[in-house]
């Protein structure tokens, strides 16, 4: 098992690539070995999309489809923002003109509301 030390990676047979790391301290993808031990990547900033979903701010947007059928709830989901948004989703970038409504808080939290069918 690799050991993360102040000088880098160490294991009985020598050094290993930084891709062999995990935030739990076991080998696997995700973290790097820093001067103070395991350094985990930041958790993406999320924003609520409906009651049970959360979208990644800047790279995803929330799609709220209104139900027009009695007893059937509205649908909520996260969609990937177009590559052209370059990690800065906005109503203009996601093509919200097809939506009934679009809200954008300028920090990448975009919700497009569409009619059901």
68 Cβ contact list (under 8 Å, min separation 6): 115, 116, 117
Looking at the fold, whether 33 and 63 belong to one and the same domain comes out as: no
State residue 75's pLDDT score: 92
Domain count, the chain: 2
Radius of gyration of the chain (CA): 21
Q: Are residues 55 and 108 in the same domain?
A: yes
The range of the structural domain enclosing residue 53 comes to 46-114
The reported pLDDT for the residue numbered 12 is: 40
Q: Are 82 and 28 found together in one domain? A: no
Q: Is the pLDDT of residue 55 over 60?
A: yes
Same domain for 52 and 102, yes or no, is yes
Q: Are residues 108 and 51 in the same domain?
A: yes
Confidence band for 27, pLDDT divided at 50, 70 and 90 = very low
- Tell me what the mean pLDDT of segment 25-51 comes to: 64
Residues 51 and 105 reside in one and the same domain: yes
Q: Is the dihedral of CA 14, 17, 18, 22 positive or negative?
A: negative
- Which pLDDT belongs to residue 96? 62
């Amino acid at each position: 098992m690799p050991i993360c030390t102040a000088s880098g990676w160490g294991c009985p047979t020598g050094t290993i690539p930084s891709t062999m790391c995990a935030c739990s301290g076991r080998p696997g993808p995700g973290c790097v070995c820093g001067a103070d031990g395991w350094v985990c990547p930041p958790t993406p900033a999320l924003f609520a999309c409906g009651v049970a979903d959360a979208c990644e701010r800047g790279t995803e947007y929330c799609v709220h489809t209104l139900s027009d059928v009695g007893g059937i709830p509205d649908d909520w989901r996260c969609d990937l923002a177009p590559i052209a948004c370059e990690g800065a989703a906005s109503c203009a970038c996601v093509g919200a003109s097809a939506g009934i409504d679009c809200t954008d808080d300028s920090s990448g939290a975009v919700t497009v509301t569409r009619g059901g069918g």
